[in-house]
């Protein structure tokens, strides 16, 4: 592989179909899923910078404000939470394959989205596809990795700003290349972004090293209330608005709690339950070791309101926190036993 080449494995027909939507479009909406993470925001902004260089007018949008630890991303101030003007030639939906994952952004503009021309780019194995053209590649560690492949195959411009945003997506979804979704191609894509000027330290410091004291307190409360079963192979914990208040924490500070629980010796399945801001709604974050499939479990237990990857996934339950926790924990015990 030379400095400017990457082994691309995206379907050539789908890439051409995507370009056929992008090339005539002048005003493009790029949407990231609700409760955003580094991959969906990094992907939206990375693609925005590439399309900006082609003279397109791009509007990135997300139902929720990006977390503060992503404030270093160039262009993040352009991310909108609402659509004041829905006159777009094209919608590019990133890092989710179902409109419901875009939360209030979709709910408040469903008539527009249902009739819009949509290009969907995602890497989740449970993704259904919500566009006229869907490029869904579960072998990519992150949607940002898929976008590097797309950029190479479509010959889109790649500047420093785009590279930094895309590298953020890859680093966050692989936990700095620690997760099993890291492949040789993932590292090749990251190397290409480094050649474009992106520096890993710029990303790793705010996301993995720096944290507010309130977040540390929140994590300590969650760990203090953790419970185990199945000889320590299953661990779970939960948090609600009282937990946040006791720690002085913000909801976004619960990032990667299930991953931290999964790191405990002997744990094969880690579940974190949270319920704040939405009465009667509980959200689950699940991390699993082989042979357990987190995406399949979340999708099955939530009857379609969940999914993700085999090692990491999430789900939404329209139940109070205690009820949802009891239900899921019993099902997880059956799964393990």
Tens-place pLDDT, residues 161-201: 999 999 999 999 999 999 889 999 999 999 999 999 999 99
Report the number of distinct structural domains present in the chain.
Answer: 2
User: Same structural domain for residues 51 and 160?
Assistant: yes
Burial (CB count within 10 angstroms: exposed 0-12, middle 13-18, buried 19+), residue 254 = buried
Domain of residue 276 covers 214-336
* pLDDT score, position 309: 87
The verdict on residue 4 lying in a domain is no
Residue 108's contacts (CB-CB under 8 Å, 6 or more residues apart) are 82, 83
Q: Which two tokens stand for residue 12?
A: 């050539």
Q: pLDDT digits over 310-331, tens only?
A: 899 999 999 999 999 999 999 9
Statement to judge: residues 228 and 140 lie in one domain? no
Q: Is the pLDDT of residue 1 over 70?
A: no
Q: Which two tokens stand for residue 335?
A: 């799964």
Model confidence over 117-153: pLDDT tens digits? 999 999 998 899 999 999 999 999 999 999 999 999 9
Question: Which CATH number belongs to the domain containing residue 30 in this structure?
Answer: 3.90.1640.10
Domain stop point among 165, 193, 208: 208
Tens digit of each residue's pLDDT (9 = 90 or more) over 241-274: 999 999 999 998 998 999 999 999 999 999 999 9
Q: Check whether residue 183 and residue 245 sit in a common domain.
A: no
Given a cut of 50, whether residue 2 has pLDDT beyond it is no
Residue 67's closest CA among 111, 34, 37, 44?
A: 37
């Amino acid at each position: 592989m030379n400095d400017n080449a990457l082994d691309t494995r995206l379907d050539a027909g789908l890439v051409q179909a995507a370009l056929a939507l992008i090339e005539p479009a002048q005003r493009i909406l790029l949407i990231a899923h609700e409760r955003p993470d580094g991959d969906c925001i990094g992907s939206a902004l990375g693609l925005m910078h590439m399309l900006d260089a082609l003279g397109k007018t791009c509007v990135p949008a997300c139902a929720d404000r990006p977390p503060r630890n992503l404030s270093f991303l160039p262009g993040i101030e352009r991310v909108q939470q609402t659509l004041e003007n829905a006159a777009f030639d094209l919608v590019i939906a990133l890092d989710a394959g179902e409109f419901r994952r875009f939360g209030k952004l979709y709910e408040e503009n469903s008539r527009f989205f249902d009739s819009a021309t949509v290009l969907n780019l995602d890497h989740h194995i449970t993704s259904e596809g919500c566009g006229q053209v869907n490029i869904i590649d579960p072998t990519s560690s992150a949607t940002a990795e898929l976008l590097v492949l797309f950029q190479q195959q479509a010959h889109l411009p790649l500047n420093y700003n785009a590279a930094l945003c895309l590298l953020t997506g890859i680093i966050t979804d692989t936990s700095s290349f620690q997760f099993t979704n890291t492949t040789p191609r993932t590292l090749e894509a990251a190397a290409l972004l480094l050649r474009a000027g992106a520096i890993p330290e710029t990303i790793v410091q705010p996301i993995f090293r720096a944290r507010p004291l309130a977040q540390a307190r929140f994590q300590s409360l969650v760990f203090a209330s953790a419970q185990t079963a199945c000889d320590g192979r299953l661990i779970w914990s939960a948090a609600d608005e009282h937990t946040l208040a006791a720690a002085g924490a913000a909801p976004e500070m619960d990032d990667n709690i299930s991953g931290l629980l999964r790191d405990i010796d002997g744990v094969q399945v880690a579940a974190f339950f949270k319920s704040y801001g939405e009465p009667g709604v509980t959200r689950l974050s699940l991390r699993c070791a082989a042979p357990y499939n987190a995406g399949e479990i979340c999708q099955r237990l939530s009857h379609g309101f969940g999914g993700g990857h085999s090692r990491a996934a999430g789900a939404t339950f329209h139940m109070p926190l205690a009820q949802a926790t009891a239900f899921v924990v019993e099902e997880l015990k059956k799964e393990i036993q």
